[in-house]
Structure 1
Amino acid sequence: MRRSTALLSDRGLGEAEGDARFLLLGILGLETRDLLVDGDRRLAADEAAALDAALARRLAGEPVARILGAWEFWGLPFRLGPDTLVPRPDTETLVAVALAAAAGRTAPPRCLDLGTGSGCILTAILHELPAACGIGVDRSEAALRVARHNAVANGIGERAAFLAGDWCDAIGGSFDLIVSNPPYIARDVIPTLDREVRTHDPAAALDGGADGLDAYRRILEGVRRGDLLARGGTLAVEIGFDQADAVRMLARAAGFTERGLHRDLAGRDRVLSFDCPDGPYNRSQGCLTLR
């Protein structure tokens, strides 16, 4: 631990101690308690080689989560892939908003996660709502395979379906919760992002078009056009820290009523939630359907 921390610190990595701990535990398959009760155990040659290889990747700028191929979100373990974002603590705000919206419902909520990626948002919601079911949609079949694995590994596989599609285009039916953490970085901003993000996160999960709002336009239009949000339901989307007003205007133009702006633990604008759009509603309480 001391050696790994020193190596990372000398390279100027700000989270050197934490990164060293995550790598040591993850690469060697240990728990924190192992460091306490067996911390003076000498590593076997293959263990030392594996740890050195992981440290070399970190020193080259690869994020710890990418090296381990897994990360924790909402207290649950999630496998990652090249087509999935690393789950970030800020996105837990979206889960909390969805759970608050589901509180007090008499019927089990039906959930839709648009741009599901690793499936972490949908899986976390269904894990907390044992009677709920849901669908995760993504354009990447590789990401969907990861999401399916994560749903099964976290015990909610029988209540989750995953569909390859372009936002709302392949979905029919009525949902009580619709959530999304869409790509929202303006295209010309991506080259200025931290190197770990721009070189290791999938571009399709970052690129929100010229103004960063393309995905919100598609989502709002698709939900309204398809009558996907049930009466009394909630649409909640993660946003960039400076996008609240712009997304509000898009939602208002599409007929949605804002329910609230929610901030993350750092106090930054993070999630906007909305009620049903004006106009006809799909009141079906039956099974979810796929077009």
Structure 2
Amino acid sequence: MTFDTLLARAARRLADAGSPSARLDAEVLLCHVLDVDRTWLYTWGDRQAPSLERARFEALLAARAVGCPVAYLTGEREFWGLRLATSSHTLIPRPDTEQLVEAALAHAASPRGRLLDLGTGTGAIALAFASERPGWSVVGIDLSPEAVALARHNAERLAIGNVDFRVGDWFTGLDHEESVERFTLIVSNPPYIAADDPHLARGDLRFEPRGALVAAEQGLADLRHLVVEARGHLVPGGWLLLEHGHGQGAAVREALADAGYGETATLRDIGGHDRVSLGRQVQGETGARLT
């Protein structure tokens, strides 16, 4: 059987199983098995597929046919041009989250500063930002030790040295007896899906860690917690930037305003949906408003 024939059959199988990107999924999985890029498949598709590679490919297809995410099957996903290792202990980095990186970079004009990424997972946001701002110090925190180990692995394989990944529950691990760590920017893509959201039973979400997806108060609990607690860890004039669901922009802006942030706004993704809300720390520790 040639690779072309093998791919055609695989794409039909995945399409019948409900994959919205059946041909692409098949190509990515086969490239993973063969350790080649997709151009190779287009060039040498008429070659015969060896039986050992076919068997490995069939095993991955079977897992994908029941819904297992491609990123978990291949163990990697590209984000911001960076190839990141992935695992079932973390969310899969998604293109929508690149808007959070873009917004952070837009608020990081200074050549030096400090950024905190809460719920870092694979380290995608922290590493993308750090790769663009080598003069900045970046800290990534996650509750899962496995996630932190993975993020550290990604930093090492990408040779990005201005990031420090730590285990912690949101802001824990930052406070010391002598002082509190403060940051120019705090960013997060926290859990923001309501527990009864039907999307949790569909697609890749079925396989991703529920604790990284679901929050109380119809998905707003963690967002509201971060809004309040971030104020104690931002420098005067610092910014908090939060990714959230497409129907949560107004609620997050309200929480930011109620907590005393200024210059609040919501940014929309390429689909026109609310995606990132942000606000600026306009009071110092003494409560004096900045001018």
Task: Tell me if TM exceeds 0.5.
Answer: yes
Q: Any conservation in 1 of the 2:11–2:23 contact (CA below 8 Å)?
A: yes
Q: Compute the RMSD of aligned alpha carbons.
A: 1.7
1:132 equivalent to 2:140? Answer: no
Letter in 1 for 2:266: L
The correspondence for 2:96, drawn from 85, 90, 104, is: 90
Per the alignment, residue 233 of structure 1 pairs with 238
Question: Which has the higher mean CA deviation after the structures are superposed, 87-96 or 36-45?
Answer: 36-45
2:274 counterpart (259, 264, 269):
269
> What is the aligned partner in structure 1 of residue 4 from structure 2?
none
| Amino acid across the alignment from 2:228 | E
Match of 1:222 in 2: 229
- Taking the aligned partners of 2:286 and 2:99, their CA distance within structure 1 comes to 28
- Greater mean alpha carbon deviation, residues 170-179 or residues 233-242: 170-179
Match of 1:188 among 192, 196, 202: 196
Q: CA deviation at 1:4?
A: 1.4
CA deviation vs aligned residue, 1:139-179 (integer Å, no higher than 9, x gap)? 110110011111111221x2111111111132132211111
2:117 corresponds in structure 1 to: 113
Letter of the 1:179 counterpart: V
Amino acid at match of 1:188: D
Q: Matched residues in 1 for 2:270 and 2:201: separation?
A: 21
Shift of 1:38: 2.4
Q: Once the two structures are aligned, what percentage of the paired residues are identical?
A: 41
Does residue 252 (structure 1) correspond to residue 257 (structure 2)? The answer is yes
Q: In structure 2, what residue type is equivalent to 1:218? A: H
Q: TM-score, normalised by structure 1?
A: 0.89
- Give the residue type in structure 2 aligned to 1:212: G
**Once superposed, which parts of structure 1, at least 4 consecutive aligned residues long, lie more than 3 Å away?**
none
- Cα distance in 2 for residues equivalent to 1:209 and 1:277: 28
The partner residue of 1:141 within 138, 145, 167 is 145
1:275: Cα distance to partner? 0.7
Question: What is the one-letter code of the residue matched to 1:231?
Answer: P
The answer to which of 259-268 and 201-210 deviates more is 259-268
CA contact (8 A) 1:231 1:281 kept: no
Instruction: Give the count of matched residue pairs.
Output: 276
* CA drift at 1:32: 2.2
- Which residue of 175, 190, 213 maps to 2:220? 213
Q: Is the 8 A contact 1:248 1:258 kept in 2?
A: no
Distance in 2 between the 1:185 and 1:258 partners?
26
1:3 aligns with 2:12: no
Q: Which amino acid aligns with 2:223?
A: Y
Question: Could you say which residue in structure 1 is the equivalent of 2:186?
Answer: 178
15, 20, 23: which is aligned to 2:26?
20
Residues 193 and 219, structure 2, Cα contact 8 Å, conserved in 1: yes
1:102 aligned counterpart, secondary structure: coil
1:232: how far off? 3.0
Distance 2:158 2:215 in 1: 30
Deviation at 1:193, TM superposition (A): 2.6
Tell me how far apart the structure 2 counterparts of residues 277 and 166 of structure 1 sit (CA, whole Å).
26
Query: How much has 1:254 moved relative to structure 2?
Result: 1.1
The alpha carbon displacement at 1:277 in A equals 4.3
Can you give the 5+ residue segments of structure 1 that lack an aligned partner in the other structure?
283-291
